[in-house]
Copies of this chain bind each other. A is one copy, B any other.
């Protein structure tokens, strides 16, 4: 653990401020999102900026800090900053570093926890983005009353987190939750990790795009999506087309739902959860996805498991789930506090 020069202050119940806030930071490959969150899960203010700089912009850490300070300075004077929770892919939560995330603007491991502790004088915790999603779902989402559940984040990639026996599963080396890189189809689609057939090449926003492209080659069905270049056939466009009745888009979503249903059945048979929550952009696809998922999950379960597992979209909302989850880790422990740095 990197030693912070700032010693956190322990807050007893007597000292507890009425107006405690947490800064939740969600670092994604496309956008970085920040929210000021209360213990009730209310978002008091939020902001975001593109993770990758355009010409002449400050380096990422400076842009991140400016955005954070700007948000915090707009809070009431009585507000007490309990801490900063950060969710990011490819990070080392124990040491507080962002490590090996290919889509982030760091050329070498960046000590992000220390950076926030030094610049905001605030207790800071770092967590894997998918683990943050699980904590948010437990604290304010559909998993509030559950002790055994899984969260899958269907974004550009496929993230996953397990919450079992009332605890987040981080694994023996803080690496748990790489379901996205388990092989779904041996010798299948090429994955950016170097393997072939990884689950995330089928079940994710980019997986859905690839499924549509494959169907375009295989089918002669007409579709307005054929008019668009590959990059513009986003998961959102495919979902909208499917909802408007486009058969090619509908088939792509159903294929994705079948793959996901089969994957969920394997999770259920192994860990026997109460619920599985789907977060991220693809979770906007609605019943056309969820109904297929449920059908194919049930088909692949032993009978004692059927009807016991809730499969649902995250209740936290696609745009803010990441920052809420990042903030949840601070409220969860609530051990430390710093005075609001205004």
A interface with B by C-beta (< 8 Å) = 100, 146-148, 160, 162, 164-165, 167, 169-179, 181-183, 186, 193, 195, 262, 265-266, 269-274, 300, 302, 304-305, 308
By secondary structure, the A interface counts as loop
**Residue of A147, A172, A266, A302 with most partner-chain B CB within 10 A:** A172
Provided the pairs A181-B269, A182-B265, A270-B178 are in contact, do residues A172 and B147 lie with their beta carbons within 8 angstroms? Answer: yes
Provided the pairs A148-B172, A308-B172 are in contact, do residues A270 and B100 lie with their beta carbons within 8 angstroms? Answer: no
Query: Which one of B170, B182, B265 lies within 8 Å of A269 (CB-CB)?
Result: B182
Q: Measured between C-beta atoms, what is the minimum distance from A57 to chain B in Å? A: 31
State whether B171 touches A271 (Cβ < 8 A).
Answer: yes
Cα separation A272 to B175 with both chains bound (whole Å): 6
Residues of B near A274 (CB, < 8 A) are 172
Provided the pairs A164-B164, A182-B266 are in contact, do residues A272 and B302 lie with their beta carbons within 8 angstroms? Answer: no
The 4 closest A-B pairs by CB, nearest first: A171-B272, A176-B272, A182-B266, A178-B269
Closest to A183 in B: B300
Provided the pairs A165-B169, A169-B271 are in contact, do residues A302 and B181 lie with their beta carbons within 8 angstroms? Answer: yes
Cα separation A262 to B164 with both chains bound (whole Å): 24
Residues of B near A265 (CB, < 8 A) are 182-183
Given known contacts A165-B167, A182-B265, what 19 new A-B pairs fall within 8 Å (CB)? A146-B172, A148-B172, A160-B270, A164-B164, A164-B165, A165-B165, A169-B271, A170-B272, A171-B273, A172-B272, A172-B273, A173-B272, A175-B304, A175-B308, A176-B272, A178-B272, A182-B269, A182-B300, A183-B265
A–B complex contacts, Cβ < 8 Å, 19 sampled: A147-B172, A148-B171, A162-B270, A164-B164, A165-B165, A165-B167, A171-B272, A172-B272, A172-B274, A176-B272, A178-B270, A178-B272, A179-B269, A181-B269, A181-B302, A182-B265, A182-B300, A183-B265, A195-B300
State whether B300 touches A177 (Cβ < 8 A).
Answer: no
State whether B176 touches A271 (Cβ < 8 A).
Answer: yes
**Residue of A162, A164, A265, A305 with most partner-chain B CB within 10 A:** A164
